[in-house]
């Protein structure tokens, strides 16, 4: 059962978001947004673990460019945050894949600062079975809009491992940098 805690939070139309920010991003744009080297961005899209592919076009040879949309940028932002929290590439890929099936991360860019401040990502991992030590444990990942709601979810699953990660600042910072990039591109 997948909880729906932030009902209606992810229904913003992608065209509305695209009106505020650039529609197409190059690898250099994303590197600038996150203040990381371009090879780091390329590693996210070329690595099979992360499952992030440029939506508008992948490089197919010499002189071609990778073209990303706003959703790709948001996935890379979240991947960087998860990487900073100590998760490995395969775990990050599984989390992103699960979220991609249910959420549009770019919708969070339309949220106001106050709403973003209370945004958490919960990652529950099924408890280990004593009989089978090396079993692939399932993950359930979703967003909640407050620490209190995170505590309620944890209370309902006392045996599962929980990673609670504040991600609101990540999207707030991305929103600010996207606005700055938009101004730069308009010049």
Would 3 be classed as within a structural domain? no
177 domain residue, yes or no:
yes
* Listed range (1-5, 51-55, 102-106, 134-138) with the worst mean pLDDT: 1-5
The predicted model scores a pTM of 0.80
d(CA 70, CA 31): 14
Residue range 25-82, pLDDT digits in tens: 988 999 999 999 999 998 888 888 887 888 876 666 665 678 889 999 999 999 999 9
Q: Which domain holds residue 56?
A: 14-186
| pLDDT at 61 (0 to 100) | 63
Res 143 pLDDT > 50:
yes
The answer to the question of residue 4 being in a domain is: no
pLDDT tens-place string over residues 105-134: 999 998 889 889 999 998 887 766 655 554
Q: Domain with 141 in it: what CATH number?
A: 1.10.1660.10
Any domain includes 82: yes
- pLDDT for position 80: 94
Token digits of residue 134: 């090396």
**Under 8 Å between Cβ of 6 and 143:** yes
2 domain residue, yes or no: no
Instruction: Count structural domains, the chain.
Output: 1
Higher pLDDT, 167 or 154: 167
Mean of the per-residue pLDDT values of the chain: 80
pLDDT greater than 50 at residue 7: no
State the pairing for strand pair 139-144/120-125. antiparallel
Q: How far is CA 41 from the centre of its chain?
A: 14
Q: Does residue 8 sit within a domain?
A: no
- Residue 7 belongs to some domain of the structure: no
User: Is 167 or 185 the better-scoring residue by pLDDT?
Assistant: 167
Angle, CA 119 vertex, CA 114 and CA 120 arms, to 5° = 160
28 part of a folded domain = yes
Mean pLDDT of 145-151: 83
pLDDT of 162 above 70: yes
Return the pLDDT at 30: 92
Is 70 exceeded by the pLDDT of residue 140? yes
What share of the chain in percent tops pLDDT 90?
27
Question: Which pLDDT band, with edges at 50, 70 and 90, does 10 fall under?
Answer: very low
For residue 75, give both structure tokens: 């996935």
Distance CA 103, CA 84 (A): 22
């Amino acid at each position: 059962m997948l909880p729906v805690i932030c009902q209606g939070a992810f229904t913003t139309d992608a065209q509305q978001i695209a009106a505020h920010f650039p529609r197409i991003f190059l690898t250099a744009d994303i590197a600038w947004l996150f203040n990381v080297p371009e090879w780091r961005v390329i590693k996210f899209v070329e690595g099979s673990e992360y499952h992030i592919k440029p939506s508008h076009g992948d490089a197919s040879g010499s002189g071609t460019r990778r073209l990303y949309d706003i959703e790709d940028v948001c996935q890379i932002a979240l991947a960087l945050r998860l990487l900073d929290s100590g998760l490995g590439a395969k775990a990050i890929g599984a989390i992103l894949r699960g979220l991609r099936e249910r959420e549009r991360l770019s919708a969070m860019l339309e949220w106001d600062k106050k709403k973003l401040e209370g945004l958490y990502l919960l990652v529950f991992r099924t408890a280990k079975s004593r009989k089978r030590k090396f079993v692939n444990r399932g993950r359930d990942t979703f967003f909640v809009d407050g620490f209190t709601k995170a505590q309620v979810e944890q209370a309902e699953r006392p045996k599962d491992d929980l990673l609670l990660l504040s991600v609101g600042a990540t999207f707030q910072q991305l929103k600010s940098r996207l606005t700055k990039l938009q101004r730069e591109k308009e010049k």
